[in-house]
Amino acid sequence: MRAVVQIDEREVEFKAIRAQGAGGQNVNKVSSAVHLRFDVPASSLPDDLKLRLLALSDQRLTQDGVIVIKAQQYRTQEANRLDALRRLQELVDGAAVVRRSRRATKPTWGSQQRRLQTKSQRSGVKAQRGRVRDE
């Protein structure tokens, strides 16, 4: 089941920062990178989705439940802003998917027979590795 959840941009905080890495003079004087901060507990997302987001083991999620995304791939601040929003939306969409719980099943008769056959073959291979006896 997939619920479509749109993030309200008013709940997202953007901060322009200088990008890291190569780029020459432009990177040293223009703040084109963007830090996006999204406070999950204070957001208007459904409660079950908040719990799934907070349960993620993602390095972008702080202990306070704030998602921090740094976007610096593009040369313009606006493009980086859109990229950060897109990545946040992907993260939320991934958490919105409710995984079906696995139901335990018994192995089929055929799969059991194939397993026993390969075990028997492997046992035979290992038995051949023993000491050679003169008879």
Q: Environment class of residue 19 by beta-carbon count within 10 Å: exposed (0-12), middle (13-18) or buried (19+)?
A: buried
Residue of 61, 58, 49, 44 whose CA lies nearest to 92: 49
Residue of 84, 14, 83, 6 whose CA lies nearest to 45: 6
Task: Give 43-94 pLDDT, tens digit per residue.
Answer: 888 888 888 888 888 888 888 888 889 888 888 889 999 999 999 888 888 8
CATH classification (class only), 9-96: alpha beta
| Three-state secondary structure call for residue 15 | strand
At residue 110, does pLDDT exceed 90? yes
Give the per-residue pLDDT at 21: 73
Task: Give 59-73 pLDDT, tens digit per residue.
Answer: 888 888 888 898 888
Task: Give 13-37 pLDDT, tens digit per residue.
Answer: 888 887 777 766 666 677 788 888 8
